Each structure stands twice: as structure tokens, then as C-alpha cells.
Structure 1
Amino acid sequence: MTVLSRSERDPYQPHGAWDRVRTVTVDRVESDAAGEFGPLVAELEPDVVIDLISYTQDSAGQLVEALRGRVQHFLHCGTIWVHGHSAAVPTTEDAPRRPFGDYGIGKAAVERYLLDQARRYDFPATLVHPGHISGPGWVPINPAGHLDLGVFQALADGKQLALPNLGMETLQHVHASDVADTFLAAMANRSVSIGESFHSVASGALTLRGYAEAVAGWFGREADLTFLPWEQWTRTASADAAKLTHDHLAHSPHCSMEKADRLLGFRPRFSVLETLEEAVNALVASGRIVR
């Protein structure tokens, strides 16, 4: 196995398997800009390519053109944000795409392009759309919809936590292990996965309120919650945190895993709360949250 990375950070979790992984150091952005990334990947003569960091159609197109006729399977990591606002839930993969924001719009364009390449030109592409990837080593999106560990600490300490609106918008995390297993299931079922998109989420979604109550319970506390109108709540958070919260609340995802179950025989091993409890426990063990 070969991994292409800037090699600027360690893996999320140490594992002996990394000793058998060849790492090629490359900056994707710079290599894309120079038109060199696709040819670099092709020179490695891969059987399967999993692209985790392509955010534009141009970036994905470089790989497709370089790998056309030279790769058995091409898997792209998308996002459930290709759906945009949730309508009927749980959202299925065939729901209309109404993305908003640069990230969702860019990923939806990549999806359209790759599915067209698969269905019109037989390029062997499959797309996997994860939710909020979490687990040991990750700082998960917190019950306020952003990444500030102070939210978890407040719940651990029994302090009052302000949530926006009524705390009824939803988040949908997924364990990193289940994301990896979704890719493996797609590879193992190549004949039915090519030309298709699959969600990769934990079954069910959590409201902000339910999430906060669960976290407090892990620390033997009752959640002390207060709810503020959006404009008032934004004064309790940094501008960056408020922007991230707005993105998550505007999407309020709740996606279905029925298609992956039906076509790939895959069901996530971890529930949403199991995923988050593992992530929080790892943060406690590392001293980033104090019990």
C-alpha cells in the first residue's frame, strides 16, 4: 500500500500496519496546480486509488485523465453535505442535490463529474459520502456544532451550556473505522458499487440537546442547558465557531444507510453515541478534557 501525503502530521492512531505502508510526500495543491499530481499517481501503477482530498472538479479530472484505462477501481471521498438542506429524512442517496457553501458545492460538482465518467465512459468510479468523521484521535463536532473543547469541559464540570435556538438541529457523526469499512465494502462489491454513491454515517442522527445530555451523563452529570436565539447565541462563541455552527445547523443532516446495506451488505458497527464516547474518552485520556 502507498499513501500520498504532505507528511506533516502523524496518523490519527499509531498501528503496526503503518510499518508496511510506503509514504510518498507530496503537496496536493501545489502538485495539482503544476498539473503533476495525476501523472505522479499513474506512475505508481496502482490497482485501486482512494482519493480523500479532492475538492474540485478540476482536481478530480486530473486524476481521471491520468488513470483512465490504467486502474481497476477509483474511489472518491465526498461528503453528505452534497445534499445541502435536509428535507425528508432520513435522506437517501438519490435525493435532489441542493448544496450550498463552497465545500458542498465543490463536492457535488465532483460527484456529478465522476458519476458521468462512470456511466458514460466506463471509468470505474465509486463515491463514499461520510458524515462528521470521529473516533479516537479526532476532535468531534461538539454539542454546540463547532470544535471548541470548552463545550465538552463545561459539560464535564456541570457548568451551564448555552445552545442555539431550541437545540433541536441535528448532527450525524460516523466512526472513522466505519468510513474505512465502507470503502472496503465498496471495493469488495466492485460490480455493484461502480457508478454509485454511498453514505457513510452512523445510523440515526443526534439533536444538539440530546448530544449535550449524553456527554454530561458520561461524566456523571445532568446537563445544565440554556437556549438562546441565534443572534444572541453568537455572542457566546467566537466568530469562527459561530460560522462552523451555522454551517452544521443549516445542514442538520440525517442520512440513510439503507443503500449500503442493500447493495454492499454493509452496516456501521458503531452507533453515533458509541462513536462520540470513544472520541471523548480519548480526549480525556490525553488530558485535553479533564474529568
Structure 2
Amino acid sequence: MTRVIVIGATGHVGTYLVPALVEAGHDVVAISRGVAEPYRSHAAWRAVERLQMDREALEKAGTFGRDILALKPDIVIDMICFTMPSAEMLVNALTGHVDHFLHTGTIWTHGTAVAVPTPEEAPKHPFGDYGIAKAEIENFLLRSAHRENFPATIIHPGHIVGPGWAPLNPQGNFNTAVFSQLARGEALLLPNFGLETVHHVHAEDVARLFMAAIASRSTAIGESFHAVSDKALTLRGYAESMARWFGHQPKLDFLPYAQWAETQSEEDAKATWEHIARSPNCSMDKARRLLGFTPRHSSLDAVTEAVSWLIDKGQVEGPRETV
């Protein structure tokens, strides 16, 4: 039985990934910092070994890599690595001792796109601390794979969506009041002409791509794969579709970003800028070609599932209608 260690196992993707690993016959160790439960219950969690490990504290002590190695993994899936020293500690400890190492990246490693949809091999010009750091980690892991035979695969999710948390909304931020506005049939104000893009992915599809990479280990090692829906959404198209889903004709207004930002909270305006400045639109052709993987959920399918959950929890107004 293959022993799989999942670091950051109770997050969005881990909620779906851990049960899938158990059902595939793996011996799973789920590591999390605290006692948080996954976003959805599943009987498979009863077969999982749950461990609490404070990664930041153990990295400061210089032991985290050795602590993971001590668990005797065959496969390590790292969902929460954000710095080069963190990546180096694990790679140095695990080199020569694991069959497969899978890292969670981000489509923000691309920065701004030149041509869309963007393939994984497109030249990357990331900006912002997060995107730059994740691109640096990707380069390190791929070098380690190609030059030192470290068995690394990188999965780059888009805007992860699913029941249990607020999805990126049609303004490009996470304010759930935007969905309530659309539910009431009110006009929604969008930045610019609403033609910037966002690219969602259902957490289940990210988990499925990890499983596909594990199943095609020899093909996946030394490669990076996008994990997004088949098509990105423009802010305008997203807003119009959600208005119709709520049973209303779309009512949209537009302002140049600087003026639009003055009508929003500082937090929402900043989040919107972070997303529309990148306007991701990524290709899934590589995962389809090399791993035989196709996402099950469109962006709108994933979002409406999440919004339905928010409605059921009283966090967004209803009623709703399916397109």
C-alpha cells in the first residue's frame, strides 16, 4: 500500500483529495496545523491518520523536512509551501527517499498574459510577492527534477471554488454582498468595461488533477500543469450570467478602475486590482494531452454550487434559478 503524506490536508483541495486517495487504496497521513475539519464530511476520513504539525515552528527549528521523512512517505503532497527556504528544506530531506512529490503552485506565476489561453510553457513574468515566490519555487522544483531526478510535479490552481467558502465574485473580490445585489436584481458597478478575466476551478477538479498526476507518475514528473476550468470568465459575462441565474435581467454600470475603487472598501478594491491586473486565462490542453484529464465543472457550475451553499447558510440572499 502506497503511503501518502498530505501537508495542509483539511483545506479546500484536501477536502476532496484525501477521500479520493483513501478510495484509491492509499495509506494516507493528513497533516494540518490545528484541528480544523474538512469543508465536507466523508466516511473516508475515518481511515486517515491525522497529525497536527506547526510547519512554521518546525521550519524555524530546522526539523520539518526530517519530520516529514520520519513518516516514511512514498508520496508527499505539499498544499501550503510559499517560500524557497520552505521548499528547499523539504526537497533536501526527501531527495532519494520518495517516489513522487507534488507541489501546489498558482496560475499567478504567469503574471500578465501575452496570448490566451496561456499554456504552461509560456514565458513567465510574475509580479507581487506571492506570484514571484511561487514562480521561484516552481523553477527550483523543475530544476531539481530535470537535473537531480527529484520526482516533482507542480499543479497550478486558478481561483479555487466550492461549497464552504466565498467564491471570487463578478467584481473580482470576495465580498458576498455582490451576490446579494444580483439576487435582488440591483445594478452592479464593474471596473472599466468588465472585460478583464477571472479563471475559477472547483476544488474537486484540482483534487482530481492531483490524482491523475499520481496515476501517470512517469509522465507527470518534471512537469507543471494548470488546474482551472475549461474557460475563463469576463467580469461582465460572469455578472450577467449570475444575474440570470438569480432570475433577473442583468443591470450593469461601469467606471474606470480608479473611480470605481473610490466607491469600494480599500480591501475590496485591492483584491479586485490583484485579480484584474493579471486577468488569467489559462489553457488545460497539457493536462488533457499528457494525463487524459478534463475538468468536470465549468467556472459557472463551480460558482453556483458555492453560492447555493452560501444561500443555504443565510450568507447570500435568494431565491435562485438555474440558467
The answer on 1:196 being equivalent to 2:196 is no
1:213 aligned to 233, 237, 240, which one? 240
CA RMSD of aligned residues (A): 0.9
CA drift at 1:253: 0.4
Give the aligned partner of residue 160 of structure 1. Answer: 187
Contact 2:230/2:284, CA 8 A, preserved across alignment: yes
- The aligned length equals 291
1:18-57 maps to which residues of 2 (within 5 A)?
18-57=45-84
| Structure 2 residue matching 1:45: 3-state secondary structure | coil
Give the aligned partner of residue 184 of structure 1. Answer: 211
Give the aligned partner of residue 85 of structure 1. Answer: 112
Output the CA distance in 1 between the equivalents of 2:59 and 2:186: 47
Give the aligned partner of residue 284 of structure 1. Answer: 311
Q: Please list the CA deviations of residues 259-287 of structure 1 after superposition, one character each: whole Å capped at 9, or x if unmatched.
A: 00110010101111111111111111111
Give the aligned partner of residue 13 of structure 1. Answer: 40
Mean CA deviation greater in 24-33 or 131-140:
24-33
Give the aligned partner of residue 22 of structure 2. Answer: none
TM-score normalized by structure 1?
A: 0.98
CA drift at 1:128: 0.4
The answer on 1:115 being equivalent to 2:142 is yes
CA drift at 1:223: 2.0
Mean CA deviation greater in 2-11 or 136-145:
2-11
Alpha carbons of structure 1 residues 221 and 8: separation in structure 2 relative to 1, 3 Å: farther
Structure 1, gaps ≥5 residues long: none
Give the aligned partner of residue 127 of structure 1. Answer: 154
Output the CA distance in 2 between the equivalents of 1:12 and 1:214: 26
Output the CA distance in 1 between the equivalents of 2:34 and 2:229: 29
| Structure 2 residue matching 1:81: 3-state secondary structure | helix
Output the CA distance in 2 between the equivalents of 1:106 and 1:209: 31
Give the aligned partner of residue 265 of structure 1. Answer: 292
The answer on 1:250 being equivalent to 2:238 is no
| Structure 2 residue matching 1:251: 3-state secondary structure | coil
CA drift at 1:138: 2.5
| Structure 2 residue matching 1:96: 3-state secondary structure | coil
CA drift at 1:9: 2.6
Identity %: 54
| Structure 1 residue matching 2:51: 3-state secondary structure | strand
Q: Please list the CA deviations of residues 90-111 of structure 1 after superposition, one character each: whole Å capped at 9, or x if unmatched.
A: 0001000100001100000000
Letter paired with 1:249? I
CA drift at 1:245: 0.5
Contact 2:107/2:156, CA 8 A, preserved across alignment: yes
Letter paired with 2:248? R
Contact 2:202/2:297, CA 8 A, preserved across alignment: yes
CA drift at 1:8: 4.5
CA drift at 1:125: 0.3
| Structure 1 residue matching 2:62: 3-state secondary structure | coil
Contact 2:83/2:137, CA 8 A, preserved across alignment: yes
CA drift at 1:161: 1.1
Give the aligned partner of residue 199 of structure 2. Answer: 172
Q: Please list the CA deviations of residues 54-113 of structure 1 after superposition, one character each: whole Å capped at 9, or x if unmatched.
A: 011110110001111111100000000100001100000100010000110000000000
| Structure 1 residue matching 2:225: 3-state secondary structure | strand
Output the CA distance in 2 between the equivalents of 1:245 and 1:35: 37
Letter paired with 1:59? S
CA drift at 1:155: 0.5
